[in-house]
Structure 1
Amino acid sequence: MVGILIVTHGNFGTELLKSAELIIGKQENVETLGLNPSDDIKELYIAVRSSIKKLDKGDGVLILTDLFGGSPTNVTAASISDYKCESVSGVNLPMLIEALDSREFMPLEELTAKTIQSGVEGIKNVKNELGNKANSI
């Protein structure tokens, strides 16, 4: 099973995981790390590397971050070449659910692509999707 590491600003990752678990149930081999204003980037870097080692049970680790170019993503990028892991920025609930739900039967590279696809497909203009039905709900 691919491990999942969510690295975000503040508590976003923790709350996102709670929301996913509300929908698909409690998950194992998942960790969240948050960067707060007073935190040291070097400590986050150490925590990311430690979490990757802990979560990799042989199938690798998929790291999901919130903002491309942000400190959580930059810290993650500094570690991905040293381990069997992939990293995707722009985490949202559809992609997290896909990653958690598919990680037992998909290899890391395929899971990464499927996670990105689900994240993009989860973004909808509700008015365009529902049309006149939007007012009747």
Structure 2
Amino acid sequence: MMSESENEVAVILASHGYFAQEALKSAEMIVGKQKNCATFSVTEEMSLKEARNQLFNIYNSLETKKGTVILVDILGGTPSNVSGALCLQTDNTVVLSGLNMPMLLDLFTNRTRSLKSIAKLLKNAYQLGFKNISDTLTEKRQDNNGSSFL
């Protein structure tokens, strides 16, 4: 019988500073505590070698049979570079940039899907998560004389 963590993809959130840790805390406020999930924080005093070793240790501490999704804050930074190196050396790992709350919530509520399906879902969540609310409010005000919010 498969344990719950074997049925879900492993998740690593990686960022400069402690953004990943705080994003996880915020997401867990909404969807509940997550298992088989870890954060990776690159700090100023950390060397590239230390960052790489720490990420590989985190990866090795997780149940990765179903696959691993690594969400990084920005493309081209140390978190994405060492995550890319890990992706090249492991099977069934996907690295995605642009860590944000809509992506994270969609990931945590769809962890039993395939990696390919999750990657597609998160791309969509990233795109749908961006909205110029000011423009929307201005348009609504013009259409409805300000009688509704969104």
TM-score computed with the length of structure 1 as normaliser: 0.91
The residue type paired with residue 102 of structure 1 is N
Residue 108 of structure 2 is matched in structure 1 by 100
| TM-fit CA distance, 1:136 | 6.0
Residue 11 (structure 2) pairs with residue 4 (structure 1): yes
| Unaligned segments of structure 2, at least 5 residues | 1-7
The residue type paired with residue 51 of structure 1 is I
Residue 5 of structure 2 is matched in structure 1 by none
**Structure-2 separation of matches of 1:135 and 1:76:** 48
**Structure-2 separation of matches of 1:135 and 1:18:** 35
Residue 29 of structure 2 is matched in structure 1 by 22
Residue 88 of structure 1 is matched in structure 2 by 96
Residue 68 of structure 2 is matched in structure 1 by 61
**Structure-2 separation of matches of 1:135 and 1:73:** 45
SS at match of 1:4: strand
Mark the structure with the bigger radius of gyration.
2
Q: Which has the higher contact order (CA 8 A, sep 6+)?
A: 1
Residue 85 of structure 2 is matched in structure 1 by 78
Residue 123 of structure 1 is matched in structure 2 by 130
TM-score computed with the length of structure 2 as normaliser: 0.83
Q: Cα deviation per residue 1:12-37 (whole Å; 9 max; x = unaligned)?
A: 00000111011111111110010111
**Structure-2 separation of matches of 1:33 and 1:119:** 21
The residue type paired with residue 50 of structure 1 is N
